[in-house]
Amino acid sequence: MQRDLRLTAVGRRYGIRGPWVLRGVDLAVAPGTLTRIEGANGTGKSTLLRLLARLDSPTEGRITGRPHTAFVPERFPSALPFTVLGYLTHLGTVHGLSRGTAQRAAGSWLERFGAAAYADTPMARLSKGSSQKVAVAQALLAEPELLVLDEAWTGLDAAARAELERAVAERTAAGGAVVFVDHDPRRLAGVPDATYTVVEGGLKRRTDSVSSPDVGTGPVTLVVVQGPPGRQLPPDALRTVAAAAETVPGTHRLTVPASHSDVLLRVLLTARPPWHVVSVGADGTTPPDPGSRP
Ligand SMILES: Nc1ncnc2c1ncn2[C@@H]1O[C@H](COP(=O)(O)OP(=O)(O)OP(=O)(O)O)[C@@H](O)[C@H]1O
């Protein structure tokens, strides 16, 4: 993403005399960051996400920055006159991919979400869960600079939910930004760089996003790596971790949400020279130390 996406004094209301749903909202979404938006029902979360995705315009205020964006809406219109593969290929070309690349990317995302068997199924005949996999695949296949997810996990099976968490980790590790709303407080618990709550039309930043009680409620993996004393861990690796501590010079103990462990290991093992991975294991006993995040 070239520049931050920035909302300045943004307000939105529906209809000339409608009540303000959002007002005076300032928000910056930087490349490589994960942002969570929370709030009670009907407070304006979807309204905010549509503004971020530039699918809607503010009634007042300004939005600047135009990252290449993909959006998973809360309600995906699945009754479309396409097969699954035809639809995803079409969407890929809309995102600027060649037909062949779009088709390959579509096939690979369907595979990852366990929906390859539905490639030739008409969209209108999909179950709710399969349709949601297509909704998610259409957003991921173009590797957007900004990915906006409105309750995207709802309706997915457990394997697909985990896969979507991995996909989010990959996006941010690749320098993309992800903004999401999800009703489950355990979703990517401890991972977001920032969490905002929509309250009375405004945004309140949660200052406890690292040390919140949510941290540690999601499964975490403990990764111990070694490198020459004094060598800094790669920034892409640090972005994925909930906590990092150099226990002895050159030995780092990294606590990472389980959803992000694959990405962390890939970054460490493809670094030049690669880091030596001493151990990888589930860490059910030691909650991340909020104070040790870099
Ligand atoms: N297109 C629209 N036209 C008129 N009013 C709308 C429209 N979209 C949303 N609203 C109203 O704006 C308010 C905020 O809705 P929004 O869907 O953004 O909230 P939300 O926090 O995402 O809700 P939920 O948690 O129920 O999904 C609600 O009062 C809703 O009725």
| pLDDT 10s digits, 237-269 | 888 888 899 988 999 999 988 888 888 998 899
Q: How far is the CA of 59 from the centre of ligand 1 (A)?
A: 15
In this predicted structure, which of 7-11, 20-24, 149-153, 216-220 has the lowest mean pLDDT? 216-220
- Residue ID of nearest Cα to ligand 1 atom 29: 42
Q: Average pLDDT, stretch 184-203?
A: 91
Q: Please, what is the angle between helix 84-94 and helix 128-140, to 10°?
A: 30
Is residue 46, in this structure, part of any structural domain at all?
no
* pTM for the predicted model, two decimal places: 0.80
Q: Could you tell me the strand order of the sheet in which 146-150 lies?
A: 69-72, 146-150, 177-181, 34-38, 194-199, 202-206
- Report cis status (omega within 30 of 0) of the bond before 273: yes
Alpha helices in 99-150 (DSSP H): 99-112, 128-140
Is residue 2, in this structure, part of any structural domain at all?
no
- Percent over 70 (pLDDT), the chain: 91
Contact 63, 77 (CB under 8 A): no
- Residue ID of nearest Cα to ligand 1 atom 25: 41
Is residue 229, in this structure, part of any structural domain at all?
yes
Give the pLDDT confidence of 111-144 residue by residue, as tens digits.
999 999 999 999 999 999 999 999 999 999 989 9
User: What 8-state DSSP symbol labels residue 274?
Assistant: P
- pLDDT given at position 76: 85
Question: Is the beta carbon of 12 within 6 A of some atom in ligand 1?
Answer: no
Number of domains in the chain: 1
Is residue 234, in this structure, part of any structural domain at all?
yes
In this predicted structure, which of 117-126, 147-156, 215-224 has the lowest mean pLDDT? 215-224
Question: Is the beta carbon of 279 within 6 A of some atom in ligand 1?
Answer: no
Is residue 235, in this structure, part of any structural domain at all?
yes
Q: How far is the CA of 203 from the centre of ligand 1 (A)?
A: 16
Task: Write out the residue range of the structural domain in which residue 246 sits.
Answer: 220-292
The interface predicted TM-score of the complex, written ipTM, equals 0.97
- What are phi and psi for residue 79, nearest 5 degrees? -80, 70
- Residue ID of nearest Cα to ligand 1 atom 3: 14
- CATH code for the domain in which residue 256 is found: 3.30.70
Question: Is the beta carbon of 46 within 6 A of some atom in ligand 1?
Answer: yes
Q: How far is the CA of 75 from the centre of ligand 1 (A)?
A: 13
- Residue ID of nearest Cα to ligand 1 atom 7: 14
**HSE of 174, CA atoms in CB hemisphere, 13 A:** 16
Three-state DSSP state, 19: coil
- pLDDT given at position 207: 74
- 172 pLDDT higher than 80: yes
Q: Average pLDDT, stretch 217-230?
A: 86
- Which residues 6+ apart lie within 8 Å of 286 measured at CB? 222, 255
CB atoms within 10 A of CB 269: 12
- pLDDT given at position 217: 58
